[in-house]
Amino acid sequence: MTLNLLNQSESQLASALDSKTTTDSDSATPSAVRLFPHSQNDANDLLRPQFWSRFSLSELNHSEWEALCDGCGSCCLIKYIDDDNVSDDNNHEAEMVEYTDVTCQLMDCATGYCKHYATRQEHVPDCIQLTMENLPQMMWLPSHCAYKRLYKGQDLPSWHLLLTGDAVATQQQMRAANVGVAGRCISEIGMTDEEMEERVVNWVQP
Ligand code: SF4
Ligand code: SF4
């Protein structure tokens, strides 16, 4: 996975970071977006200043939705979801989800990026695309995930690129916060179900 904003133009990022002055009086009520957001951006979509705090998720344009992803890769890990204990609101929270450090076959475990993101569904048909519609059923996402956080009315994590405007600083802070799969995951290829069950980790929490 990639840090989405690295794919935005510098002017777009600057535009998004600009304008606290125009937004301080606005109430922030962000809401939802789309998972595996690494497809091509629409050049006509601009990142509106402070969009994450000024608009609900349903009001975001394509580029803004994509820019929320921090590229952590956690959603590509194999996880166990206990559907028998899901609450009435379909809310898969911490006690119902266990993450392993085993990733989807398309993950490059060294970089933490999908090897063929653009054509991923040709290789992995069940790769989920996060949308406004399915986000409420995806509360198994990690607690730092911007989509989940905004959906729940929380702020972006402090290290998010949209806040720092500095990709290197963001990557350093993500490492310090123990976030991201790069360098510490293993491919599902050749692994048995029994072996996967032995690889539950606690460094990803829903
Ligand atoms: S868990 Fe959220 S922030 Fe991390 S890669 Fe997946 S969609 Fe992006
Ligand atoms: S194909 Fe696999 S590695 Fe690529 S985005 Fe989907 S789950 Fe992640």
Output the CA–CA distances (angstroms, integers) from residue 83 to 61, 90, 95, 137, in the order listed.
32, 9, 11, 11
The answer to whether 163 and 68 have CB atoms below 8 angstroms apart is no
Does the CB atom of residue 106 touch ligand 2 within 6 A?
yes
Supply the pLDDT for residue 84.
67
Rounded to two decimals, the pTM is: 0.81
Q: How would you classify residue 188: left for phi > 0, otherwise alpha for psi between -120 and 50, otherwise beta? A: alpha
User: CA-CA distance, 192 to 29, in Å (whole number)?
Assistant: 44
Indicate the top mutation candidate among 1, 60, 185 to test ligand 1's pocket, ranked by most ligand atoms within 8 A of CB: 1
In this prediction, residue 2 carries a pLDDT of 28
Task: Count CA atoms closer than 13 A to 41's CA, side-chain side.
Answer: 20
Mean pLDDT of 68-91: 80
Whether 5 and 67 have beta carbons less than 8 Å apart is answered as: yes
Any ligand 1 atom below 6 A from CB of 73: yes
Residue nearest to atom 7 of ligand 1 (CA): 35
Whether 180 is in the pocket of ligand 1, judged by its Cβ within 6 Å, is no
Q: Residue 97's beta-bridge partner residues?
A: 81
The ligand with the least distance to the CA atom of 102 is 2
Ligand that comes closest to the CA of residue 105 = 2
Taking 60 as the threshold, does the pLDDT of residue 166 lie above it?
yes
